[in-house]
Amino acid sequence: MFENNNFKINKICCIGAGYVGGPTMAMIAFKCKDIKVEVVDLDKKKISLWNDKNLENLPVFEPGLSQIISECRNKNLTFSNNIKSAIETSDMIFIAVNTPTKSSGIGAGEASDLRFVESCARDIALYASDNTIVVEKSTIPVKTADIINKILNTSNNSKKDSKFYVLSNPEFLAEGTAINDLLNPNRVLIGGENHYAIEALSDIYSVWIDKKKIIKTNVWSSELSKLTANAFLAQRLSSVNTISAICETTGANIKEVSKAIGMDKRIGEYFLNHGPGFGGSCFKKDILNLIYLSKFYGLFEVAEYWKQVLKINDWQKERISKLIVNKLFGNLKSKKIAILGFAFKANTNDTRESSAIDICKNLIEEGANLSIYDPKVSFERIALDLNLDVAGEDQNKKVNSAKSIEESMKNADAAVILTEWEEFFNIEWNLFSESMRKPAWIFDCRDVIRTSEIDHLKINLWKCGYAKFS
């Protein structure tokens, strides 16, 4: 496998078949037909869905993913629960398991829970049979490579003749655009110590990515850059969301302001869409991680600084919830509210940390009956997120999942748009508003409604960021 310190990669495996492991490995298999790629996970149901003949059932919905899976699956791309044999037979092993926020013990609520990463390192120490490159794909705190190295090289289980080379290769894809992000990344970051191991990973990416975009750094820079990138992106969103509130009270137009500032190349035009607060599995947990790290190193002012980004995000969700209650005369008891969109953004079935969760919980608390429509999120998922007792009759009446926009809006007192699904841009409001109970409201938190389509209807409109509709 390794000659003169040059690594020849014939087979790779990835531990963790989630939103990152699945799409990233599919892309490597798609582009590097001479490499065998195996994706493994402890979760049996998830693996059976990755192997499902019906591509509609893949556990991750991502535009363009099913085409790639159908081309590569069972050729050079396989999904299995056989972690031991996948590790034994691979030259390079990616760790793409979840790294949630710790829920108890030291650092609870802020630090990363690294038990899944640790468990992967222990499995690799136990089963890897030869020299192996281990790649951190999960987002982890700075210095995690040290922990992985210690486990790999000092574990009782570690085979005496095995040598390990740990690399950091954080993933920057965003859900909903994962395939395009993997095809045309802004950059690929590889942090490591061993030149030959770095080159082996770089060679894989350079099959389809310009070498100039492949950045090679030390391990700690690579680990810290990932947390920093997410923190900076989230900070932009909290910033623009504070400005949306100022626009609502002053008459400035949030789109005009965003355009005006975004045309300054130093600021840039992307990631300036205001909304109901950012969601997703990573921004909050990665900023919490940065806050914990800052405190750990005694940098308390730095921790306070980043905390504000999260506070503003919570504030945006709360102010929208309160505003809905106020517009509906301070009372939501027995009122029906249509919730349009539950995923944390469009083009994904992921609801982790979706703003819709907090906003829906606030409305339920006020006594509202919710009819939730999302084209890709199941009621099972919604019920789990809202802690519903689905067996209990009461909760069943309070929240239901609608099969269509029409069903969701029928007799509703209000509709709240929380995800920017394409189909919401094309709603024929004149048809649906008829069936709403008057006086009816639409709360557009994602700027999807063209106001000219609604001006003449007997319906009230609130649009986040616009004084005219406040």
Positions annotated as catalytic residues are: 282
Apex CA 303: angle with CA 302 and CA 308, to 5°? 100
> Which entry of ligand UGA, ligand NAD, none binds 275, CB below 5 to 8 A by partner kind?
ligand UGA
What distance in Å separates the CA atoms of residue 13 and residue 96, rounded to the nearest whole number?
A: 10
Between 77 and 357, whose beta carbon lies closer to ligand UGA? 357
Q: How far is the CB of 177 from ligand UGA (least distance, A)?
A: 7
Query: Residue 465 interacts with ligand UGA (CB under 6 A)?
Result: no
20 binds ligand NAD (CB under 6 A): yes
281 sits near ligand NAD (criterion: CB under 6 A) = yes
Among 17, 151, 272, 332, which residue sits at the site for ligand UGA (rule: CB under 6 A)? 272
Q: What is the 3-state secondary structure (H, E, C) of the chain?
A: CEECCEECCCEEEEECCCCCHHHHHHHHHHHCCCCEEEEECCCHHHHHHHCCCCHHHCCCCCCCHHHHHHHHECCCEEEECCHHHHHHCCCEEEECCCCCECCCCCCCCCCECCHHHHHHHHHHHHHCCCCEEEEECCCCCCCHHHHHHHHHHHCCCCCCCCCEEEEECCCCCCCCCHHHHHHCCCCEEEECCCHHHHHHHHHHHCCCCCHHHEEEECHHHHHHHHHHHHHHHHHHHHHHHHHHHHHHHHCCEHHHHHHHHHCCCCCCCCCCCCCCCCCCCCHHHHHHHHHHHHHHCCCHHHHHHHHHHHHHHHHHHHHHHHHHHHHCCCCCCCCEEEEECCCCCCCCCCCCCCHHHHHHHHHHHCCCEEEEECCCCCHHHHHHHCCCCCCCHHHHHHEEECCCHHHHHCCCCEEEECCCCHHHHCCCHHHHHHCCCCCCEEEECCCCCCHHHCCCCCCEEEECCEHHHC
Between the CA of residue 296 and those of 17, 230, 289, 303, 310, what are the distances in Å?
32, 20, 10, 10, 19
Q: Using an 8 Å Cβ cutoff, are 314 and 380 in contact?
A: no
* One residue of 76, 101, 172, 434 binding ligand UGA per CB under 6 A: 172
Shortest separation between residue 298's beta carbon and ligand UGA, angstroms: 26
Residue in 126, 174, 302, 323 binding ligand UGA, rule: CB under 6 A: 174
Q: Which of 18, 192, 275, 375 binds ligand UGA (CB under 6 A)?
A: 275
Q: Annotate each residue in 342-381 with x if it binds ligand UGA (CB under 6 A) or - if it does not, as one string.
A: --xx------------------------------------
User: Which residue sits closest to ligand NAD, CB atoms considered?
Assistant: 18
Binding at 345: pick from ligand NAD, ligand UGA, none (beta carbon under 5-8 Å per type): ligand UGA
- CB of 93 vs ligand NAD, minimal distance in Å: 11
Q: Is 17 a binder of ligand UGA (CB under 6 A)?
A: no
Q: Among residues 113 and 447, whose Cβ is nearest to ligand NAD?
A: 113
279 binds ligand UGA (CB under 6 A): yes
Site map (CB under 6 A) of ligand UGA, residues 219-258, x = contact: -----------x--x---x---------------------
Shortest spacing between CB 163 and ligand UGA, in angstroms: 30
Q: Which distant-in-sequence residues (6+ apart) come within 8 Å of 459 by Cβ?
A: 429, 433, 436, 440, 441, 442
Which range binds ligand NAD by CB under 6 A, 170-178, 373-381, 413-421, 445-453?
Answer: 170-178
For residue 21, the partner it binds in ligand NAD, ligand UGA, none, with Cβ less than 5 to 8 A by kind, is: ligand NAD
Say whether residue 116 binds ligand NAD (CB under 6 A). yes
Q: What, of ligand NAD, ligand UGA, none, does residue 99 touch, CB below 5 to 8 Å by kind?
A: ligand NAD
97 counts as binding ligand NAD under rule CB under 6 A: yes
Of residues 2, 12, 16, 341, which one binds ligand NAD by CB under 6 A? 16
Whether residue 121 contacts residue 83, with contact meaning beta carbons closer than 8 Å, is answered with: no
- Can residue 173 be called a binding residue for ligand UGA (CB under 6 A)? yes
Total residues binding ligand NAD (CB under 6 A): 26
Contact code string over 314-333 relative to ligand NAD, x by CB under 6 A: --------------------
| Backbone phi and psi for residue 292, each to the nearest 5 degrees, phi listed first | -65, -45
Q: Between 30 and 69, how does the x/- string for binding to ligand NAD read (CB under 6 A)?
A: -----------xxx--x-----------------------
CB 341, CB 401: distance < 8 Å: no
The reply on whether position 139 binds ligand UGA by CB under 6 A is yes
Site residues, ligand UGA (CB under 6 A): 139, 171-175, 230, 233, 237, 271-273, 275, 278-283, 344-345
Binding site for ligand NAD (CB under 6 A): 15-21, 41-43, 46, 83, 96-99, 116, 119-120, 138-139, 171, 173, 175, 281-282
